Structure formats: C-alpha cells, structure tokens
Amino acid sequence: MDTVLQGRSKTVVVGPEQPFCIIGERINPTGRKRFAEELKQGDLSTVTVDTVAQMEAGADVLDINAGIPLVDEAELLAKMIKLVQDTTDAPICIDSSVIEALEAGLAVYEGKPLVNSVTGEDDRLEEILPLVAKHGAAVIALANDETGIPETPQQRLEIATKIVRVAGDFGIGPEDIVIDPLAMTVGADTEAVTITLETIRLIRENLGVNMSLGASNVSFGLPDRHALNAGFLPMAMDAGLTSAIMSTAKVCVDSVRASDLLLGHDPWGARWIATHRARKAEAVPAT
C-alpha cells in the first residue's frame, strides 16, 4: 500500500514499489549546540541553509524538530515549518513528542504531513491519533510501549499490530500508519541490526504497511558512521523498509539510489543516470 504525503505543491508517494523515501534528518537541534543557540536567539537562517542543502542532496521529505530546553517549542516549530514551506515545496515530517507543539505545527502546515511520532503506549495513542485524524496526516508509529523497547522481532510486530488496529478505531487507515521497527546501535548490541531486519520482514509480511526508522541510530558511538549507515540501508530496503529519517551525505544517498535501481524501483536506471549527468554537468567549469 502507498502512503501519500503532500507539501504545498509537491506530492511524495511512499510504498513498496516506489523509490525509497529519503527524509532528511538535519533540521534538528539535538547535538548541534550552535544551531540550538541560534534558534534560541530567533535566528532561523540555518534552517533555510539546511533545507536547501538537503533538497539539493536528494531528500524527498524534511524532518523538522524544534526540541530545545526552555524554549516555547510550539511557537518555534510553527515558525520553522512556515519558513521551510516558504523555501521548498517538499512535504515535511513534523517531529515532536509535545502535544502542543504538534498541534501548532499541524495548524500552520499546508498539505498532508507526516507526524513523528506515536508509540504503542495507550495514553500516547489516545492523545496523538485524534490529532493526526483531525488534520488528515500520516504518522510514524514506534514499535515500543509502556514496557520499553522489545527485544524480539515478534514482540515488536505485536505492538505494531496493536497500533494499526487502534488507529483504525480513530478512522486512520493502515496506509497512513508508518511503522518504525526500531534501529538500535550495533555498537551496544551486535544483534541489534539483525533484530531490526527481521522485524522489518515480519511487518512487511503480516501488516504490509510502510516503514521508516532513524537510520543513523545503527552507527551511534562508532567511527565512520556514514559508511555504516550506507551499508545498513540497502539491507533494510531489501527486507522491506520504504523510507528512513537519514543523513543526506552523498555516500548514504548514493547507496539508497543504487539500491532503488538494483531492486527494480528505478526503471531502466532513469533517475540514476539523470543524477550522474547532472553531477557531470555541474563539474564542468564555466567558460
């Protein structure tokens, strides 16, 4: 099934037969002290810079997070969303765990966004799903609940199944539920990635919904992170992952687009060849 996201004038379709959806992760102050300080001071210039850079690098959707301590997150997130929508027509993934911030972001958004995120906890489902339904959005749903992060793929599938069922009670169809099978760092658990891959396969086989995850999580705490992320993404795509919140570093984007071609999601390599030609043209010095 396909999940349809819309910006002001651009539509992105996420699905098992579609090209992989790259959700740019950069517009997030977490771990970015200078960016966080700029946002605190009301300087949103880096938001514009990151928007343009990620779109030029190949992002399809942009994740926006405004989570900074001692800041009015609702007000800041709304301003950031407006600015990004003034800069690009791409759809946005509205990223917050604060209900008031999600409400503010959804209120100003033009189109059909992706909300990041809800969990399988009963109170979170009851708070966030009505908001998602009211605004006709799609939502990322993490396969964890009150008990924490499940250790086994089967347990994660059970939570994902519950979320899809409960979402239906709120009038949200499975096409608008994007399950996060949970990517954990392989630096802390050597089985972390194999558990995630098996979870992806189980969700694909049993639910058929689209999936997304934070791809950079797998490499946390390790050197050469982009190389690890670029190695992980094709495996996840083959297992059934259809999108990811990820870096738009060239090695990561190239890994995804090469996999699109090899998995039959870029017919005749049209996108791959067009990108290659564009890069060659850019490399030719002006005369």
pLDDT (tens digit per residue) in 118-136: 999 999 999 999 999 999 9
Q: For 98-114, what is each residue's pLDDT tens digit?
A: 999 999 999 999 999 99
- The CA distances from residue 175 to 83, 125, 129, in Å, are 28, 17, 14
pLDDT at 142 over 90: yes
Strand partners, 95: 65, 116
So what's the pLDDT on residue 287?
Answer: 59
Peptide bond into 117 cis (omega under 30): yes
Please state, rounded to an integer, the average pLDDT across all residues of the chain. 97
- The CA distances from residue 24 to 27, 56, 94, 126, in Å, are 8, 11, 12, 28
So what's the pLDDT on residue 140?
Answer: 98
The pair of structure tokens assigned to 136 is 């006709």
Domain hosting 91: range is: 3-283
Q: For 55-76, what is each residue's pLDDT tens digit?
A: 999 999 999 999 999 999 999 9
Residue type, 267: P
Q: For 181-219, what is each residue's pLDDT tens digit?
A: 999 999 999 999 999 999 999 999 999 999 999 999 999
CATH number of residue 257's parent domain: 3.20.20.20
So what's the pLDDT on residue 4?
Answer: 98
Cβ atoms 237, 259 nearer than 8 A: yes
Structural domains counted in the chain: 1
CA pair distance 185, 85, nearest whole angstrom: 33
So what's the pLDDT on residue 285?
Answer: 75
Q: What's the pTM value of the predicted model, to 2 decimals?
A: 0.96
pLDDT at 286 over 80: no
CA pair distance 227, 251, nearest whole angstrom: 7
More confident residue, 163 or 70: 163
Q: For 238-252, what is each residue's pLDDT tens digit?
A: 999 999 999 999 999
The pair of structure tokens assigned to 77 is 């997130």
